[in-house]
């Protein structure tokens, strides 16, 4: 798919901007702070309903304005669709699809984007929440109805956490709180949690090959990337953790270790079995959960383990390696979405690829390789402060961005 038209009102630094876009490469060039990232952030927002830069939507609304509107015409195959989101800080978004009011959940999945930005370094260096978010966003793009399961899980998690805290406190005061509501929450947490675990584990299996291939490509063969899902239910059940030093290499032992790890991962895709295992673990952990007042097992405690050769990437990978790894995760996401057989919207699942400030960070060889890799995408939106940073093979349309104005060059 591609975005043929974009209109913003009161989004970030833009009072109003209307932009026609072509398929292929569009590069937004301009000095720092002129609004390049703001533009592509708006496009990405239409696909994830969140920003890669801020947790709260308030920052997306132009200072002093009551709300922002992001409007786009997107083309799947050759069928156009109009998507509109109104962002009002502190309130639910309002959505329109082909000019009619729509539920936001019906708009999810219409616009598919994969955005790579400097913030993605956190995927490798940051805490597990970053990597869970990476998996969940991709999972929801592939299967929009899982957004509802995620929301349900978050809600149950909060309520169960609150109950654990109050019941734990009551017990410390010497009373005997009624724990029957807790059983109800356990059931709901396990049911929603298992669906998320299963979807993530399946996604990790799908991504593993593309991530390894993309890393190999970006780094010019300078290391082997491997991703594994580490589920807290596996921790609770005393199952082994993915260990890069055992999983890497060409030996038969390593191959056996990989097969075992993938077997363990496959077991996580069985929703009914994981539901049971979660319930069981919550039973065993109840005392500790009451003591600590937190939910100790479930997808909110899981992680995506990134290995590079025989070492975990986190804590060991160099800056350049971490950067290449994050890029490989995004390029692999692009590929998985593009090749998604079940894509709605005329089967056109190819996302818009957005590269925010990426080329400046890469040496010239990596730059050329990345450019070659993305040159065939249906639409690539690039931002760069210096025009020379955009490789020549990515000729295409240039836009000058200055002081909130965007002009086609
Ligand atoms: N809600 C908002 N209201 C008004 N202005 C905003 C808002 N959010 C961000 N800005 C302004 O937008 C500008 C940043 O724009 P953006 O991040 O798109 O810059 P950029 O062109 O990508 O710069 P760089 O090359 O440094 O990445 C800043 O000057 C910031 O003050
Ligand atoms: Mg920027």
Q: Which of 9, 12, 65 to mutate to test the pocket of ligand 1 (most atoms within 8 A of CB)?
A: 12
For the chain, give the secondary structure using H, E and C. Answer: CEEEEEEEEEECCEEEEEEECCCEEEEEECCCCCCHHHHHHHHHHHHHCCCCCCCCHHHHECCCCCCEEEEEEEEECCEEEEEEEEECCCCCCEEEECCEEECHHHHCCCCCEEEECHHHHHHHHCCHHHHHHHHHHHHHHHCCCHHHHHHHHHHHHHHHHHHHHHHHHHHHCCCCCCCHHHHHHHHHHHHHHHHHHHHHHHHHHHHHHHHHHHHHHHCCCCCCEEEEEECHHHHHCCCCCCCHHHHCCCCHHHHHHHHHHHHHHHHCCCHHHHHHHHHHHHHHHHHHHHHHCCCCCCHHHCEEEEEECCEECCCCCCHHHHHHHHHHHHHHHHHHHHCCCCCCCCCCCCCEEEEECCHHHCCHHHHHHHHHHHCCCCEEEEEECCHHHCCHHHCCEEEEEECCEEEEC
Q: How far is the CA of 39 from the centre of ligand 2 (A)?
A: 9
Q: How far is the CA of 197 from the centre of ligand 2 (A)?
A: 34
The pLDDT, as a whole number, for residue 177 is 85
Q: Which of 14, 16, 38 to mutate to test the pocket of ligand 1 (most atoms within 8 A of CB)?
A: 38
Q: Is the CB of 13 under 6 A from ligand 1?
A: yes
Q: Is the CB of 62 under 6 A from ligand 1?
A: yes
Q: Is 35 annotated as a binding residue?
A: yes
What are the domain boundaries of the chain? 2-112+350-408
Contact 304, 229 (CB under 8 A): yes
CATH of domain 2-112+350-408: 3.40.50.300
Considering only CA atoms, give the Rg of the chain.
23
- Tokens representing 347 are 């089967």
Q: Is 222 annotated as a binding residue?
A: no
Q: Which of 15, 19, 34, 404 to mutate to test the pocket of ligand 1 (most atoms within 8 A of CB)?
A: 34
Q: Is the CB of 36 under 6 A from ligand 1?
A: yes
User: 405: left (phi > 0), else alpha (psi -120 to 50), else beta?
Assistant: beta
* Per-position pLDDT tens, the chain of length 409: 999 999 999 999 999 999 999 999 999 999 999 999 999 999 999 999 989 998 889 999 999 999 999 999 999 999 999 999 999 988 899 999 999 999 988 899 999 999 999 999 999 999 999 999 999 999 999 999 999 999 999 999 999 999 999 999 998 999 888 888 899 999 999 999 999 999 999 999 999 999 999 999 998 888 999 999 999 999 999 999 999 999 999 999 999 999 999 999 999 999 999 999 999 999 999 999 999 999 999 999 999 999 999 999 999 999 989 999 999 999 999 999 999 988 888 899 999 999 999 988 888 888 888 898 898 899 999 999 999 889 988 889 999 999 889 999 8
Q: How far is the CA of 353 from the centre of ligand 2 (A)?
A: 16
Q: By C-alpha distance, which of 1, 100, 89 is closest to 47?
A: 1
Ligand having the closest approach to the CA of 385: 1
Residues in the chain: 409
Q: Is the CB of 33 under 6 A from ligand 1?
A: yes
Do β-strands 379-384 and 24-29 pair in parallel, antiparallel, or remain unpaired? Answer: parallel
Q: Is 30 annotated as a binding residue?
A: yes
Ligand having the closest approach to the CA of 12: 1
Q: Is the CB of 357 under 6 A from ligand 1?
A: yes
């Amino acid at each position: 798919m591609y975005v043929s038209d974009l209109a913003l009102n009161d989004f970030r630094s833009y009072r109003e901007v209307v932009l026609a876009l072509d398929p292929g490469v569009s590069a937004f060039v301009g000095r720092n702070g002129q609004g390049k990232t703001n533009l592509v952030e708006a496009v990405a927002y239409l696909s994830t309903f969140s920003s890669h830069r801020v947790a709260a939507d308030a920052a997306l609304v132009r200072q002093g304005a009551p709300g922002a509107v992001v409007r786009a015409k997107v083309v799947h195959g050759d069928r156009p669709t109009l998507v509109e989101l109104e962002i009002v800080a502190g309130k639910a978004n309002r959505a329109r699809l082909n000019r009619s009011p729509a539920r936001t959940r019906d708009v999810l999945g219409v616009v598919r984007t994969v955005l790579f930005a400097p913030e993605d370094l956190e995927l490798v260096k940051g805490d597990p929440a970053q990597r869970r978010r990476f998996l969940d966003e991709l999972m929801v793009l592939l299967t929009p109805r899982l957004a509802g399961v995620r929301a349900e899980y978050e809600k149950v998690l909060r309520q169960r956490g609150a109950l654990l805290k109050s019941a734990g406190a009551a017990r410390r005061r010497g009373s005997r709180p009624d724990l029957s509501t807790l059983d109800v929450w356990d059931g709901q947490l396990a049911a929603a949690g298992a669906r998320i675990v299963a979807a993530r584990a399946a996604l990790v299996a799908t991504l593993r090959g593309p991530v390894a291939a993309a890393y190999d490509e970006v780094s010019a063969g300078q290391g082997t990337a491997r991703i594994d899902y580490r589920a807290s239910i596996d921790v609770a059940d005393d199952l082994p953790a993915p260990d890069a030093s055992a999983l890497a290499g060409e030996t038969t032992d390593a191959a056996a270790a990989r097969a075992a790890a993938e077997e363990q991962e496959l077991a996580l895709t069985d929703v009914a079995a994981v539901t049971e295992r979660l319930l069981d673990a919550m039973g065993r952990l109840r005392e500790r959960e009451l003591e600590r007042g937190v939910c100790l097992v479930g997808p909110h405690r899981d992680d995506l383990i990134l290995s590079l050769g025989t070492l975990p990437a986190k804590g060991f990978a160099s800056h350049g390696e971490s950067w290449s790894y994050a890029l490989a995760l995004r390029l692999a996401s692009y590929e998985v979405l593009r090749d998604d057989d079940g894509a709605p919207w005329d089967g056109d699942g190819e996302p818009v690829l957005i590269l925010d400030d990426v080329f400046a960070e890469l040496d010239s060889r990596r730059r050329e390789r990345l450019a070659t890799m993305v040159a065939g995408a249906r639409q690539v939106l690039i931002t760069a402060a210096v025009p020379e940073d955009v490789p020549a093979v990515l000729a295409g349309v240039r836009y000058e961005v200055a002081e909130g104005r965007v002009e086609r060059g």
